[in-house]
Homo-oligomer: A and B are copies of this chain.
Amino acid sequence: MDAPRYDPLDPAFAERVRASFAKQGAMHTIGASLAEIAPGRVVIALPWRAELTQQHGFLHAGMVATALDSACGYAASTLMPAEAGVLTIEYKINLLAPAQGDSFRMEGLVVKPGRTISVTEGRAYALHQGREKLIATMGATLMTISGRDHIKH
């Protein structure tokens, strides 16, 4: 997916995303890392781990969703004001193929930024035997939160 060109409101958007990501215990637990941060677009990388599998040894769909939801949320966050926080209102995920692979790449892309509501799309790819395969698509709706310190960032 190509990202439309967006002008970020906060020039320090990448540092803000990195700082928030570093505070997430769950991202650390599943071994996710930030691979790319651009205005309206964030990519998260995730290696395969035995601890994250379902009953057939593939990556658990919930882990795919967790990382993909984060990619979408941070993609929306890149276009928000410096002091804003972001909340996921809802997302839908379609699981297209088993998450079979050595590593995974989760792309989040803003489809429509908004003052209150942002709409994003996500795509999860598995890297398996040198080939990249689309394994999941997501549509996520996020809300900008401002003026509440405890939800900041």
Does residue A42 face the partner (Cβ distance < 8 Å to B)? no
A-side interface residues, number (CB < 8 Å): 51
When each residue 63-102 of chain A gets 1 if its CB lies under 8 Å from chain B and 0 otherwise, what string results?
1011101100000000000000001111111111110000
Residue numbers in B under 8 Å from A88 (CB-CB):
61, 95
Does residue A111 face the partner (Cβ distance < 8 Å to B)? yes
Residue numbers in B under 8 Å from A151 (CB-CB):
56, 98
Minimum CB distance partner of A59 in chain B: B26
The reply to whether B24 and A141 contact each other, CB–CB distance below 8 Å, is: no
For the complex with contacts A25-B52, A62-B62, A65-B69, 12 further pairs of A-B residues with Cβ separation under 8 Å are: A24-B55, A26-B51, A26-B54, A29-B29, A62-B67, A88-B95, A90-B95, A90-B119, A90-B139, A91-B92, A92-B139, A116-B116
